[in-house]
Amino acid sequence: TSENLTKEKADYIYQRLRKQITSIDSEACPQSFVFFVFGASGDLAKKKIYPTLWWLYRDGFLPEHICFVGYARSQLTIEKIFQNADKYMKVHDHERDLYKKFLELNHYVCGSYDKSEDFDKLNHEANKISQHTSAHRFFYLALPPSVYGSVSELISTHCRPGAPGWVRLIVEKPFGKDLQSSNILSGHLSKFYAEEEIYRIDHYLGKEMVQNIMVLRFSNRIFSRVWNRDSVAAVKIIFKEDIGTQGRGGYFDEFGIIRDVIQNHLMQILSIVAMEKPRSTTGEDIRDEKVKVLRCIAPIKSENVVIGQYLGDKESKDSERQLGYLDDAGVPKDSTTPTYAQTILYINNERWDGVPFILRAGKALNEKKAEIRIQFRDVPGGMFDENGSKAPLARDELVVRIQPDEAIYLKVNTKRPGEMSYSIEETELDLTYNERYRGVKLPDAYERLILDVFMGSRINFVRSDELQEAWRIVDPILTEIDQKKLPVVPYKFGAAGLPQAFDAAVKHGYVFT
Ligand code: NDP
Ligand code: BG6
């Protein structure tokens, strides 16, 4: 059946990947790897990094001679770190023995983020643990950006392996706070690392449907022919969350939703949706095209921006929803940081001139959802009006649902079944993954991305010039928001969005179907 076929294919891909990984292991001497987790005591390490390393290890994707070294300032033990992470690891009973082996490969070293002697100690410990001075090394910085500078420098100056061992540095967002600080950080990293040693993670690039955009666009003539201003009326890229800042307010208040989600996740999606066809699937060819299209976008104008901040819903039975953004412990009571934003931008090139790209992101809304909507222009001619149909034809729309429930569906008009006249109904050609690919495991974004780092594939990581362009586009509007020049519209926790944003989208040519 097609279901078995799909499973077979998935297994085949797994096997292929596994081969690539193990061939890294055997191709050169030394054959050892050390994976460092900086900020091992933190939230990201607990929720994502350690669980992902375990799943990759469990599924046989990691090289045989590998060890893991956690590093942070807290006086902890590796046992304590794994106790804290336990509920995220999802270990099944039959995996207990394997899990024990994984735990034995893990170690913890405690030290500062700014003292040379601590990094010397770390280097020494890692050599001892891996029994190699030239093992290849991965450094995952699961740390607040305030310490990226000193940590990246000290790693490079004290923890590089001897030849032929190499280094891969994995950096988490935010990559700076604005164009200037991002450029400073990039400049700093480039002093100590070659660009090919740096893996800037944007975890949206590891999501199945984001990775699918290129295949959908460039392997289907039916789409490639209409993917332009002649056929497309508007593009919407939406991110919605049904949770508030949940105690992360301290971090969030310094950034706001545009820096947290739009500048990175949504802008990355936009660049893949809008770029020209890359010459090949190599990382550099793809990233070249992404940069090229970003260069065609002017900085966002304030008249094309709507921002908002959520209030608690006092009538809600859910105690979390009763709390507004300003009730979050780390948030100043007079904060005007946006938790919701819509920005509309235009791409000044031959393919997209005049087509609005509507990027919308919000926390504390009515649902969790991320999707891309490509809305096509009205059908010209009005043939069906003569048959008494009063309403205009609904526009066709291609929807790529990134989460939850990955799906691609195309909204089309059909004849209402069974009717004698040409009565028209809007329906969907629906590819919902849960139904069509039932049983196929879709790896978590971090699983794919960390595996990419192991394989040395940079396709799904952000290059410094991409980053610079993305900041250039949002920088002026961020300054205006920081200087409180834009009104912040309040909305209630659980709202569908801001009416002002919906109206603006309509004004720019989007039609709600
Ligand atoms: P945490 O706040 O949990 O920080 C990680 C560790 O860094 C802490 O355990 C602490 O370790 C150390 N640390 C915390 N604050 C400081 C400080 N002011 N100065 C020096 N060290 C500090 O961060 P997260 O784990 O949540 O995030 C890590 C990185 O990943 C951040 O850049 C974040 O933006 C990014 N990220 C996080 C996500 C998440 O879901 N958590 C999602 C996406 C990105 P110790 O005191 O033991 O040294
Ligand atoms: C992170 C943001 O990058 O992405 C968070 O900092 C947000 O604010 C998260 O909640 C959303 O990720 P996902 O994968 O749950 O959609």
Q: What is the pLDDT of residue 508?
A: 97
Span from the CA of 34 to the centroid of ligand 2 (angstroms): 28
Ligand lying nearest the CA atom of residue 252: 2
CA–CA dist 243, 153 (Å, integer): 36
Residue 26 reports pLDDT greater than 60: no
pLDDT of residue 216: 96
What pLDDT was estimated at residue 419?
Answer: 81
For 287-317, the pLDDT digits (tens) are: 999 999 999 999 999 999 999 999 999 999 9
In this structure, which ligand is nearest to the CA of 173? Answer: 1
**Mean pLDDT, residues 447-465 taken together:** 94
What's the CA gap between 207 and 202, in Å, rounded? 10
Which pLDDT score is estimated for 131? 87
When pLDDT is averaged across residues 197-225 and rounded to a whole number, the result is 96
Q: Which atom of ligand 2 is nearest to the CA of 264?
A: 3
* Alpha carbon of residue 312 to chain centroid: 28
Point out the ligand 2 atom lying closest to the alpha carbon of residue 173.
Answer: 3
pLDDT value of position 380? 86
Local structure of 261: helix, strand or coil: helix
Query: Is the pLDDT reported for residue 19 higher than 70?
Result: no
- Look over the chain and give the mean of its residue pLDDT values, rounded to a whole number: 92
Q: How confident is the model at residue 513 (pLDDT cuts 50, 70, 90)?
A: confident
Is residue 256 within 8 A of residue 337, CB to CB? The reply is yes
Determine the pLDDT at residue 198.
96
Going by pLDDT thresholds of 50, 70 and 90, the confidence category of residue 1 is very low
pLDDT digits (tens, 9 = 90+) for 40-85: 999 999 999 999 999 999 999 898 899 999 999 999 999 999 999 9
Q: Is the pLDDT of residue 24 over 90?
A: no
- The CA angle 365-370-373, to the nearest 5 degrees, is 115
User: What pLDDT shows up at residue 420?
Assistant: 78
- From 203, 251, 266, the mutation candidate for ligand 2 (largest count of ligand atoms within 8 A of CB) is 203
| Average pLDDT, integer, range 86-112 | 96
Higher confidence at residue 132 or residue 203?
Answer: 203
Q: So what's the pLDDT on residue 6?
A: 60
pLDDT of residue 454: 93
What's the mean pLDDT in 254-280?
97
Residue whose CA is at the smallest distance from ligand 2 atom 9: 261
User: pLDDT category, 384, cuts 50, 70, 90?
Assistant: confident
User: What b/e readout covers 458-484, taking b as 16+ CB neighbours within 10 angstroms?
Assistant: bbbbbbbbbbbbbbbbbbbbbeebeee
pLDDT of residue 235: 98
The answer to whether residue 122 scores a pLDDT higher than 80 is: yes
Distance between first and last Cα of the chain = 36
% of the chain residues with pLDDT over 90: 81
**Could you report the per-residue pLDDT of 311-328, keeping only the tens digit for each?**
999 999 999 999 999 999
Q: Which ligand is nearest to the CA of 176?
A: 1
Q: Does any ligand 2 atom lie closer than 6 A to the CB of residue 396?
A: no
User: How confident is the model over 358-379, as pLDDT tens digits?
Assistant: 999 999 999 999 999 999 999 9
pLDDT tens for residues 216-252?
Answer: 999 999 999 999 999 999 999 999 999 999 888 888 9
What is the pLDDT, as a whole number, of residue 2?
A: 47
Mean pLDDT over 104-128 rounds to 96
Q: What are the pLDDT digits (tens) for 480-501?
A: 999 988 999 999 999 999 999 9
Q: Where are the alpha helices (DSSP H) in 205-266?
A: 208-218, 221-224, 249-257
C-alpha span between 178 and 259 (Å, rounded): 8
Does this complex have an ipTM over 0.85?
Answer: yes
Instruction: Say whether pLDDT at 96 is over 50.
Output: yes
Of ligand 2's atoms, which has the minimum distance to the CA of residue 207?
A: 14
Lookup: tokens for 133 = 């001075």
Task: Output the CA 45–ligand 1 centroid distance in Å.
Answer: 8
464 or 64: whose pLDDT is higher?
A: 464
Assess whether 158 carries a catalytic annotation: no
Q: What is the pLDDT of residues 142-153, one digit of tens each?
A: 998 889 999 999
User: Catalytic residue among 65, 132, 136, 265, which?
Assistant: 265
Asked if 311 and 324 count as a contact pair (C-beta separation under 8 A), the reply is yes
Report, as an integer, the average pLDDT of 105-120: 97
The residue-averaged pLDDT of 410-416 equals: 94
Averaged pLDDT for residues 371-400:
83
- Over range 17-37, report the average pLDDT: 69
Ligand 2 atom, smallest distance to 445 CA: 14
CA distance 291 to 289: 5
Span from the CA of 256 to the centroid of ligand 1 (angstroms): 17
Q: Which residue has the tokens 């809008």?
A: 274
DSSP state of 273: H
C-alpha 296 – ligand 2 centre gap (Å): 27
- Contact, 160 vs 127, CB < 8 A? no
In the sheet where 106-110 sits, what is the strand order? 106-110, 66-72, 33-38, 136-141, 167-171, 198-200
What single DSSP character describes residue 278?
P
**Closest Cα to atom 6 of ligand 2:** 260
> Which residues surround ligand 1 with Cβ inside 6 Å?
39, 41-45, 47, 72-74, 113, 142-147, 172-174
